[in-house]
């Protein structure tokens, strides 16, 4: 006999596992079904984020940045470490341990919160009266009034460069190289290409990125993108824009990529490894979308309204499988919102307030609108900016690249966007998110006391700069 629940959550990534926990906290009897297999083929909760995304990439970014600092930056502090070396296998093993600790942690959170957990691929079978039936690969069936689909995304495949998992890889392979490739090619200079390119460059690879877009990081503020391109080029990441990939030829020794540059001239690049990082696609395969009539949008994502309701009654969808940025914190917030809606509470989530972060060095982070977006819709704004070069803490850190820019409405002074490139941008951006969530003006930030010396003083000065009253420049 099939087991009955209030809610079936499909997928245990940051959208699904958070939704499931919030559901049980609210007294809803909940099961979470997930099909991820980790090391040795064992079930591993946490989805893309914990297994092959946010957490492992940040572990390697941190390790490789420590090496970079040791070999390039510490000498200026009077710290000498001659003959420093890297043990890639140990670095990757550390990353794997962080992943397994975290994924195990989700199982423990499920137990603590009394979330039922099932392993297998879930398929929506149909509805009997007001109860949905969901099948699982092993033939088991569960029933519930509500379904939350949180099936995430997978790497977009580039026809010209099919993955073989050894020479040509996506993020999964690129997080587990057993040694630093001498020559590393990356198709796609987006966030994965730049983060993982940074990791392997710091560990000694010659990295070349081939990017289709003629503009670098077009979603970022133009000035930030320009500063970033300058910084990455200085680090010897070779970045080619406006590229077209013609094909890839593999041999036992190397991968040869035939490509055209921005002028249409034929080029070739030979590499030991190739990472393909050209975006991700929503994961709806095997859910029986057509059979049950679940509507998809033009991009193949499950169509939802602002509260993540799908075209089917009592079926919600959250995270990478729906519109909006493909980010873990966005998925989790939607998971919480949907759980609270199912429990009869009021919920909402504002996509304009989702922070974007790139964990490169310098880090890049932003929230809200860019100058180019505001210009495009004719909103009058004023912008204030402050460089880390003039910030005492950044000087002490020896990390003075970049700036903070605050954009405020020209009439109301309400903050419309904040853009950071520089040290600890990932942490600093949260102050901006909080300010915007409370509809703060740039003057509110300017009148807030910031600790000295701290990087956050650059935020304070950027707020003062909106009104042309900076103190330190």
Footprint of ligand FAD on this chain (CB under 6 A)? 10-16, 33-36, 47-49, 53-54, 57, 121-122, 150-153, 171, 192, 283, 286-287, 319-320, 326-329, 331
Q: What stretch of H or E contains 202?
A: helix 191-202
Among 192, 237, 271, 432, binds ligand NAI (CB under 6 A): 192
Longest dimension (CA), the chain: 73
Among 60, 191, 239, 248, binds ligand NAI (CB under 6 A): 191
Specify the residue, 53 or 368, whose C-beta has the smaller distance to ligand FAD.
53
Specify the residue, 14 or 188, whose C-beta has the smaller distance to ligand FAD.
14
Specify the residue, 89 or 249, whose C-beta has the smaller distance to ligand NAI.
249
Among 5, 110, 132, 359, binds ligand NAI (CB under 6 A): 359
Among 66, 137, 154, 213, binds ligand NAI (CB under 6 A): 213
Can you tell me whether residue 2 is helix, strand or coil? coil
Taking alpha carbons only, the member of 335, 29, 290, 309 closest to residue 152 is 335
154 CB-near residues (< 8 Å, 6+ apart): 280, 281, 283
Specify the residue, 20 or 462, whose C-beta has the smaller distance to ligand FAD.
20
**Cα three-residue angle 335-338-341, rounded to 5 degrees:** 150
Minimum distance of ligand NAI from residue 178's CB (angstroms): 22
Backbone angles phi, psi at 455, to 5 degrees: -65, -30
202: preceding bond cis by omega (within 30 degrees): no
Residue 212's binding partner among ligand NAI, ligand FAD, none (Cβ under 5 to 8 angstroms by kind) is ligand NAI
As given in the structure block, the two tokens for residue 422 are: 């520089």
Subset of residues 146 to 185 that bind ligand NAI, contact rule: CB under 6 A: 158
Subset of residues 308 to 337 that bind ligand NAI, contact rule: CB under 6 A: 325-327
Residue 425's binding partner among ligand FAD, ligand NAI, none (Cβ under 5 to 8 angstroms by kind) is none
CA distances from 349 to 329, 335, 434 (A): 11, 10, 14
Per the CB < 8 A criterion, the answer to whether 281 and 319 are in contact is no
Minimum distance of ligand NAI from residue 10's CB (angstroms): 20
Specify the residue, 54 or 124, whose C-beta has the smaller distance to ligand NAI.
54
What is the β-pairing status of strands 183-187 and 273-276?
parallel
As given in the structure block, the two tokens for residue 208 are: 């070349």
As a residue count, the chain comes to 473
Q: Give the interface segment with ligand NAI, choosing from 24-32, 206-214, 249-257, 414-422 (CB under 6 A).
A: 206-214
Minimum distance of ligand NAI from residue 276's CB (angstroms): 9
Backbone angles phi, psi at 247, to 5 degrees: 180, 170
What is the β-pairing status of strands 153-155 and 168-169?
unpaired
Q: Give the interface segment with ligand NAI, choosing from 200-208, 336-344, 353-361, 385-393 (CB under 6 A).
A: 353-361
Measured distance between the N- and C-terminal CA atoms of the chain, rounded to whole angstroms: 72
Residue 133's binding partner among ligand NAI, ligand FAD, none (Cβ under 5 to 8 angstroms by kind) is none
Specify the residue, 176 or 213, whose C-beta has the smaller distance to ligand FAD.
176
Please give the Cα distance from 65 to 70 (Å, whole number).
8
Catalytic residues: 452
Please give the Cα distance from 286 to 62 (Å, whole number).
37
Binders of ligand NAI: how many residues, by CB under 6 A?
A: 25
Minimum distance of ligand FAD from residue 224's CB (angstroms): 18
Specify the residue, 106 or 277, whose C-beta has the smaller distance to ligand NAI.
277
Partners of 123 in the β-ladder: 135
CA distances from 363 to 220, 228, 355 (A): 12, 9, 13
Minimum distance of ligand FAD from residue 289's CB (angstroms): 10
Residue 121's binding partner among ligand FAD, ligand NAI, none (Cβ under 5 to 8 angstroms by kind) is ligand FAD
**Cα three-residue angle 205-187-426, rounded to 5 degrees:** 75
Q: Which residues bind ligand NAI (CB under 6 A)?
A: 158, 187-193, 195, 210-213, 243, 245, 277-280, 325-327, 357-359
């Amino acid at each position: 006999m099939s087991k009955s629940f209030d809610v079936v959550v499909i997928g245990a990534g940051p959208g699904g596992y958070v939704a499931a926990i919030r559901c049980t906290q609210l007294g809803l009897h909940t099961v979470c079904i997930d099909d991820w297999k980790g090391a040795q083929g064992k079930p591993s909760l946490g989805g893309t984020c914990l297994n092959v995304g946010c957490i492992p990439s940040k572990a390697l970014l941190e390790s490789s940045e420590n090496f970079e600092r040791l070999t390039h930056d510490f000498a200026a502090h009077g710290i000498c470490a001659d003959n420093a070396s890297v043990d890639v296998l140990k670095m990757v093993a550390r990353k794997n341990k962080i992943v397994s600790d975290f994924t195990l942690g989700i199982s423990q959170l499920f137990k603590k919160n009394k979330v039922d957990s099932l392993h297998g691929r879930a398929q929506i079978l149909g509805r009997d009266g007001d109860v949905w039936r969901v099948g699982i690969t092993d033939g088991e069936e569960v029933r519930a009034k509500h379904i939350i689909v949180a099936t995430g995304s997978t790497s977009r495949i580039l026809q010209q460069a099919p993955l073989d998992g050894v020479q040509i890889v996506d993020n999964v392979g690129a997080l587990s190289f057993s040694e630093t490739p001498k020559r590393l090619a990356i198709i796609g200079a987006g966030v994965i290409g730049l983060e993982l390119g940074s990791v392997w460059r710091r560990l000694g690879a010659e990295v070349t990125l081939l990017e289709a877009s003629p503009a670098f990081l077009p979603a970022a503020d133009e000035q930030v993108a320009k500063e970033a391109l300058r910084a990455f080029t200085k680090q010897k990441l070779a970045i080619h824009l406006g590229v077209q990939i013609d094909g890839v030829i593999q041999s036992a020794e190397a991968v040869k990529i035939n490509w055209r540059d921005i002028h249409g001239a034929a080029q070739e690049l030979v590499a030991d490894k190739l990472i393909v990082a050209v975006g991700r696609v929503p994961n709806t395969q095997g859910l029986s979308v057509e059979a049950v009539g679940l509507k998809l949008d033009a991009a193949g994502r499950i169509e939802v309204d602002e509260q993540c309701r799908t075209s089917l009654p009592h079926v919600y969808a959250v995270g990478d499988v729906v519109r909006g940025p493909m980010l873990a914190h966005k998925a989790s917030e939607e998971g919480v919102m949907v759980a609270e809606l199912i429990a009869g509470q009021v919920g909402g989530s504002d996509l304009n307030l989702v922070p974007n972060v790139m964990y490169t060095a310098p880090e890049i982070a932003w929230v809200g609108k860019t100058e180019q977006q505001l210009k495009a819709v004719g909103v009058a704004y004023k912008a204030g900016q402050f460089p880390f070069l003039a910030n005492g803490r950044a000087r002490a850190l020896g990390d003075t690249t970049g700036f903070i820019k605050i954009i405020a409405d020209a009439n109301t002074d309400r903050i419309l966007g904040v853009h950071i490139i520089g040290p600890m941008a990932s942490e600093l951006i949260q102050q901006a998110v909080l300010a915007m969530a409370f509809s703060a003006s740039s003057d509110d930030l300017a009148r807030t006391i910031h600790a000295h010396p701290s990087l956050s003083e650059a935020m304070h000065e950027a707020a003062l700069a909106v009104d042309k009253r900076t103190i330190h420049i």
